[in-house]
């Protein structure tokens, strides 16, 4: 049997030759004989980083940090591994340990900035990323992170400048291009935004179907599969452009998640609707949100007119207006902390007399469930919402929908139903920077936070306006 030294040479040679499997097997054999072999631990950690399993490097780096407590690179990499594992406390500890001995270490400052950003402290994140790029002006990822943090603070010009600086250093970085696209789109510059928005496809998880990706060329009767991405609201928003594939001579096939199938199939667009989990094989495909770039959509192409209808309408008689409520979106969304409310945040609104509230919220968080248990008579109706066809039927019979930035808000707007959208201080790009109206949906009225996290002002305004409706 080979000794540890021979096995390590084998692991090292395999690593240098790019044979990861052999390097991993040999390094693990080394550790079986010598659990504190620094070289073998480093190979295993490097393999994890190289294959994208950054969180998987954590146990190797933790052992290395004990063996080499003063090695800054080990601590920084440990922080990154903890970030990948969403252990923000351990990540902060690793980066802070570096900064105790090297206060201007750019990678540690940047890493701690990412931690603070994920914790919702955008001001502290901005400061840390700023210090990181001051320490290393050529640190492209640091400039990108600074741009993102500034954007989330509402410092849009500073965010754009930082992202532009990152692009001068690394013009092809997908994450930077994507975040710069978000700012262009937020500002209404679709011509600059759509092409850069395609950068999301480099890191966005998406099943790639057979066939070729359609790039907008003229079609000669070919079928084009439009595949869904991101959230339900995104699919609802961009489904309106599906018939435009015919304008290029093609036959559109819109693949949607199961919850949207019945609703989309009822629209009568003459478009084939497919199950996203089992789409047909067609010659060409295109992500549905790439239609902006593929079709070269301009502001003139965006109409706020209704384009969805409910298969049926659930109308009920009773005293007072029926008001649908949805207050939180997908909890895994990157900006959920900013855009979702708690049910308790709506207290002034919920206390408006003469109103029948209808629960449109799908999925309750623990605090919301507790609030509903405390107020069992809060909702006059809690309909079963098994699909968006069910939700559309309820929305069709409501006098008004009040919603955070959720798929319900998109649905109401797409149906042309009156709806009030509750938006964070830094909104999603599609809502623009200001104003109560949106070109995407004529029936929507937008209520925007005047400052970061200030839902109280928004809810107070909404409650006052709802009170006027309730009084007739």
What is the C-alpha end-to-end distance of the chain, expressed in Å?
Answer: 88
8 A C-beta contact, residue 142 and residue 136: yes
DSSP string computed for 274-308:
EETTSPPP-SEEEEGGGHHHHTT--GGG---S---
Structure confidence by residue, pLDDT tens digits, 75-93: 999 999 999 999 999 999 9
| Cβ-based neighbours of 175, under 8 Å, separated by 6 or more | 144, 199, 203
DSSP string, 425-447: SS--GGG-SS-S-BTTBTTEEEE
Q: Which helix (H) or strand (E) holds 144?
A: helix 140-153
**Residue 86 exposed, middle or buried by CB count within 10 Å (0-12, 13-18, 19+):** exposed
Kindly report the average pLDDT of the chain as a whole number: 93
d(CA 112, CA 109): 5
Q: How far apart are CA 192 and CA 198, in angstroms?
A: 11
Give the rounded percent of residues in the chain with a pLDDT score beyond 70.
99
Give residue-wise pLDDT tens across range 151-172. Answer: 999 999 999 999 999 999 999 9
pLDDT at 2: 61
Long-range contacts of 295-302 (CB under 8 A, 24+ apart): 295/216, 295/241, 295/244, 295/248, 296/194, 296/216, 297/190, 297/194, 297/241, 298/190, 298/191, 299/188, 299/190, 299/439, 302/439, 302/440
What CA–CA distance (Å, rounded) separates 439 from 427? 15
Answer with the residue of higher pLDDT: 456 or 208. 456
Residue 106: its pLDDT value, please? Answer: 98
Burial class (CB in 10 A: 0-12, 13-18, 19+), 291: buried
CA-CA distance, 431 to 256, in Å (whole number)?
A: 23
pLDDT tens for 342-383 read 999 999 999 999 999 999 999 889 999 999 899 888 898 888
> Over 80: is that where the pLDDT of 113 sits?
yes
Residue spans of alpha helices (H) in 187-290: 190-197, 232-239, 244-247, 258-265
Distance of alpha carbon 424 from alpha carbon 329, whole angstroms: 13
Over residues 296-319, mean pLDDT: 89
Averaged pLDDT for residues 271-284: 92
Identify which of 5, 17, 69, 75 has the alpha carbon closest to the alpha carbon of residue 45.
75
Q: For residues 472 and 468, give the distance between their C-alpha atoms in angstroms, rounded to a whole number.
A: 7
Q: What pLDDT does 443 receive?
A: 98
User: What predicted TM-score, i.e. pTM, was given to this entire model?
Assistant: 0.92
Can you give the pLDDT at residue 256? Answer: 96
Angle at 363 (CA atoms; ends 357, 369), nearest 5 degrees? 70
Residue 234 has pLDDT above 60, yes or no: yes
Q: Is the pLDDT of residue 52 over 50?
A: yes
pLDDT digits (tens, 9 = 90+) for 295-304: 999 999 999 9
* Confidence class for position 1, pLDDT limits 50, 70, 90: very low
Most confident of 202-206, 378-382, 404-408: 404-408
- pLDDT score, position 13: 86
Contact partners, residue 4, CB within 8 Å, separation at least 6? 30, 33, 34, 37
Q: How many CB atoms lie within 10 A of CB 72?
A: 16
Kindly state the percentage of the chain with pLDDT values over 90.
78
| Cα 407 versus chain centre, distance | 13
Q: How far apart are CA 67 and CA 206, in angstroms?
A: 40
Instruction: Tell whether the model's pLDDT for residue 314 goes beyond 90.
Output: no
- Mean of pLDDT values over 123-137: 98
């Amino acid at each position: 049997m080979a000794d540890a030294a021979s096995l390590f040479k084998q692991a090292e040679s395999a690593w240098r030759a790019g044979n990861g499997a052999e390097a991993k097997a040999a390094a693990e054999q080394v550790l079986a004989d010598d659990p504190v072999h620094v070289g073998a631990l480093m190979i295993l950690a490097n393999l994890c980083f190289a294959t994208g399993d950054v969180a998987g490097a954590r146990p190797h780096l933790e052992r290395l940090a004990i063996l080499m407590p003063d090695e800054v690179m080990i601590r920084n990499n440990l922080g990154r591994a903890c970030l990948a594992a969403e252990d923000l406390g351990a990540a902060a500890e690793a980066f802070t340990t570096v900064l105790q001995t090297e206060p201007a270490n750019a990678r540690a400052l940047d890493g701690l900035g990412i931690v603070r950003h994920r914790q919702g402290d955008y001001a502290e994140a901005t400061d840390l990323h700023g210090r990181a790029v001051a320490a290393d002006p050529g640190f492209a990822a640091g400039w990108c992170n600074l741009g993102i943090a500034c954007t989330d603070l509402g410092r849009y010009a500073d965010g754009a400048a930082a992202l532009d600086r990152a692009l001068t250093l690394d013009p092809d970085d997908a994450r930077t291009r994507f975040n710069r696209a978000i700012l262009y789109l937020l500002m209404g510059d679709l011509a600059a935004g759509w092409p850069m928005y395609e950068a999301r496809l480099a890191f966005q998880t998406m099943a790639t179907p057979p066939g070729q990706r359609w790039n907008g060329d003229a079609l000669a009767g070919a079928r084009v599969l439009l595949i869904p991405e991101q959230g339900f609201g995104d699919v609802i928003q961009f489904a309106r452009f599906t018939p435009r594939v015919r304008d290029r001579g093609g036959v559109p096939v819109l693949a949607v998640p199961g919850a949207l199938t019945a609703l989309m199939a009822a629209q009568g667009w003459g478009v084939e609707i497919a199950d996203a989990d089992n789409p047909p094989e067609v010659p060409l495909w295109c992500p549905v949100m790439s239609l902006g770039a593929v079709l070269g959509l301009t502001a003139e192409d965006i109409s706020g007119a209704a384009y969805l209808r409910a298969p049926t309408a659930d109308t009920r008689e009773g005293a007072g207006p029926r008001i649908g409520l949805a207050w939180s979106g997908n909890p895994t969304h990157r900006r959920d902390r900013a855009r979702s409310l708690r049910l308790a945040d709506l207290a002034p609104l919920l206390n408006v007399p003469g109103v029948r509230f209808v629960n449109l919220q799908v999925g309750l968080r623990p605090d919301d469930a507790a609030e509903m248990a405390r107020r069992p008579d809060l909702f006059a109706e809690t309909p079963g919402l098994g699909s968006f066809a069910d939700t559309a039927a309820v929305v069709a019979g409501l006098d008004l929908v009040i919603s955070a930035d959720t798929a319900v808000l998109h649905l109401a707007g797409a149906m042309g139903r009156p709806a009030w959208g509750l938006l964070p201080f830094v909104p999603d790009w599609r809502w623009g920077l200001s104003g109560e109206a949106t070109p995407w949906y004529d029936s929507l009225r937008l209520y925007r936070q005047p400052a970061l996290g200030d839902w109280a002002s928004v809810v107070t305004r909404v409650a006052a306006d709802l009170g006027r409706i309730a009084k007739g």
